[in-house]
Amino acid sequence: MPKRLQREIERLKKMILAEGALVEERLKLAMRSIGDRNPELAQQVVDGDAEIDIMEVDLEEECLKILALYQPVAIDLRFIIAVLKINNDLERIGDLCVNIAEDSQFLSSREKIEIPFDFPAMSEKVQAMLQNALDALVNMDTPLAFAVCRADDEVDEINREMYEKVEAGISKYPEHLAAFLRVIRVSQRLERIADHCTNIAMDIIYMVEGEIVRHGRKHGESYCEPPKTPAKH
């Protein structure tokens, strides 16, 4: 029975990584469609949303089947619980990629405006967070997961700066109000994707260490840093 359970867990790992790779690709396409003002590329992201939805449902059903058949405990149980939660976060990231693609289609249909925002840098940070979160899952790498949590603060700061720059842009070019509002939506969506990546990282920490860090630690320790004393498995 344990060997069969381990085979099922390996299968789960492959499924969640396949879903993650697809979501990662969609994020890249959505952001490239903005930079290239390419509505066809954006439509590919919109049209591909159903594929991610199907993968999410299949993975959830597989997790529930394993829970019912094998009644796993300890690290195996934590892994399955983590996969269930990560699965949901990946599906939400996929939805946000579709939203970004729709914003891209709107922006490409309007007169081009000079956007004084560093979208490439923000996008690269968010994509790196997603890639690192998936790598942490593969390798059960908690230091990398903690690094993902810390990177979220950088994305939050860029998002705050976006608001100030959008406000200045609207004041200078009020005729482009609708486009500027779409730009801030893209920034908000990237910030939300970073939040989901942080959720994934926290679930990995829980899976490996058996510790819930979502709401911080005792004794003033930050959830963005490894614990001062090793967690009990």
The string of DSSP codes covering 23-69 is HHHHHHHHHHHHHHT-HHHHHHHHHTHHHHHHHHHHHHHHHHHHHHH
Question: Among 112-121, 125-134, 193-202, 216-225, whose mean pLDDT is lowest?
Answer: 216-225
| Domain residue extents for the chain | 2-220
How far is it, in rounded angstroms, from Cα 12 to Cα 169?
47
| DSSP-derived secondary structure letter, 228 | S
| DSSP-derived secondary structure letter, 199 | H
User: What does the angle CA 67 – CA 70 – CA 73 come to, to the nearest 5 degrees?
Assistant: 75
Q: What is the pLDDT of residues 41-95, one digit of tens each?
A: 999 999 999 999 999 999 999 999 999 999 999 889 999 999 999 999 999 999 9
How far is it, in rounded angstroms, from Cα 146 to Cα 226?
7
Residue pointed to by tokens 């309007």: 110
Neighbours of 196 (CB within 10 A): 24
Q: What is the pLDDT of residues 175-226, one digit of tens each?
A: 989 989 999 999 999 999 999 999 999 999 998 988 777 665 443 455 566 6
CATH topology assigned to domain 2-220 = Methane Monooxygenase Hydroxylase; Chain G, domain 1 (1.20.58)
112 CB-contact burial (10 Å; exposed 0-12 / middle 13-18 / buried 19+): exposed
